[in-house]
Amino acid sequence: MKKHIVYIYFIFLAIATGLNSCIEDPDVEVNTNQGNFETLWKIIDTRYCYLDYKNINWDSIHTIYSDKFDSDTEELDFFNIMSDMLAELKDGHVNLYSDFDISRYWKWFTDSLSNFNHDIVYSDQYLGDDYHIAGGMNYDKIDNNKIGYVYYDDFSNTFTTSNMIYIFNYFKDCDGLIIDVRENGGGYIDQAEELASYFFTEETLTGYIQHKIGDGHCDFSNPVEIKTPANKYAQWKKPVAVIANRKSYSATNSFISRMKIAPNATIVGDKSGGGGGLPFSSEIPNGWLVRFSACPMYDANMQHIEWGIDPDIKVDLDSTDVANGYDTLIETAIAEIEKMK
């Protein structure tokens, strides 16, 4: 928790020093369509962390979108134009908040296969109706009680070490464990670190983070190490398979990145959704808030995780399996655990 507070403190300092005077043209009134546009554009230009990585010509975006409105453009239309401009970033962490709407970019998962069928996961083949719940995790034994299965759909649902001890004890006679984080759009990044810590036997370097130190697109600090600790009170040392799909985003993406190098762990399913930038929010003159990726995060090999984490075993839901009531990804995870055993 503390190290993430430090990161956010650095972000706050970087942003606070640069956003008080975003509009440099003294002839532009601040709280006008033009003034709000210039402020929003400048915030992204100086504080968004992926412009160069994504090869986005933000100056060209300014030229294109400055011609799409004028002083008479209605508020809703202006909001939609600004939302379209932000969508050019192709980032699910970028949102514009007003009193009447929230912009969002969803193509990071809507253009991909879902690879998840809720009805099958909660059928008698897997969780059924009588599953257990602890800290937002739904869990039970599957495959004739040989495999422990946990479905966790939201890193905003907090859990404790006590929860994990009970879960691990329930699965103590199982050959291995499946952690299914499909459709998990993220939440608290510290919870991602906490969950990963139960699968490491020693503190391990699992990534890096940088923060902006200037207005230039590439003005970043030196990389700061992110380490995943080994939990002192509970550890799972048998095989574990993590199942992901494209909707495994943000904090979930961070969890998968950590688990990619955890002992006895295998990532199964689809590439995760990404969302590697630590988000921050700022305000434009009319009171709208913009959230954006402010700090790039990397894996242990200093590779960006913004576009997602590749699985160790790529597999999609098979229509024949679905018709027969089976989840191809879960069955693949079971088979992999049996091989690891």
pLDDT, tens digit (0-9, with 9 covering 90-100), for 30-53: 999 999 999 999 999 999 999 999
Query: What's the average model confidence in pLDDT over 190-215?
Result: 97
Dihedral sign of CA atoms 109, 113, 119, 121 in order:
negative
Task: State the DSSP code for 319.
Answer: H
Which domains occur in the chain, in start order? 1-106+207-227+277-296 (3.30.750.44), 118-200+235-273+308-340 (3.90.226.10)
Query: Mean pLDDT over all residues of the chain?
Result: 93
- Distance separating alpha carbons of residues 335 and 339, to the nearest angstrom: 6
pTM of the model: 0.91
Average pLDDT estimate for 308-332: 98
**Pairwise CA distance, residues 70 & 64, whole Å:** 13
The model's pLDDT over 85-142, given as tens digits with 9 standing for 90+, comes to 999 999 999 999 999 999 999 999 999 999 999 999 999 999 999 999 999 999 999 9
